[in-house]
Structure 1
Amino acid sequence: MIYEMTVQVRVSNMEDGQKYYEILLNRQPDFTPHEGFAEWELLPNCWLQVAEGTPTVGNGPLRLGVVDLHAERKRLMDVLHIEEFEIFERVEVPVKWATFSDP
């Protein structure tokens, strides 16, 4: 039985990478056990780890649910200077989604 999940992304510059994810997630990490490593518990037993290292090309996407996707897109464009990105939806499914690139 699976009771926990962890996803790790690597960043080439930990200071910049951590700041990016702090802004993206709108909060400080829950756990920083050592230099070059930060973790956020996104949901109970569901962790996002940011680690200093060589970023992996071609992985993803990481999808996170938010209450208001349009408001969150505006916030990310304002504070992270992400270029405008499209929000997709399909009548037959009860979700909307959007994709943007992590610098």
Structure 2
Amino acid sequence: MFEKKDSRVKSAAATNLSFLYFLEKDYDQADRYAELAMSADRYNPAALVNKGNTEFVKEDYEKAAEFYKEALHNDSSCTEALYNLGQPSQT
């Protein structure tokens, strides 16, 4: 049933699932649903932030920053992306 929904609804649902899995530290599932959310709506800033977060925990800070910047490009008021861009890398 989830697959048949409108792309924005699908993107929002996948974004929420990605965030919940991230909170549970199931980063593989969080990444999977972030990808699904982005494929349904590439301009979804929350999905881009979630994807950036999964890259951040993989310690790929450059890739994470790219997703945060893209989220800000799509929505300049995306405070999560702006905040995450300001976080120091773990190097």
Normalised TM-score (structure 2): 0.29
Higher helix fraction (1 or 2): 2
Normalised TM-score (structure 1): 0.27
Point out which structure has higher relative CO (alpha carbons under 8 A, 6+ apart): 1
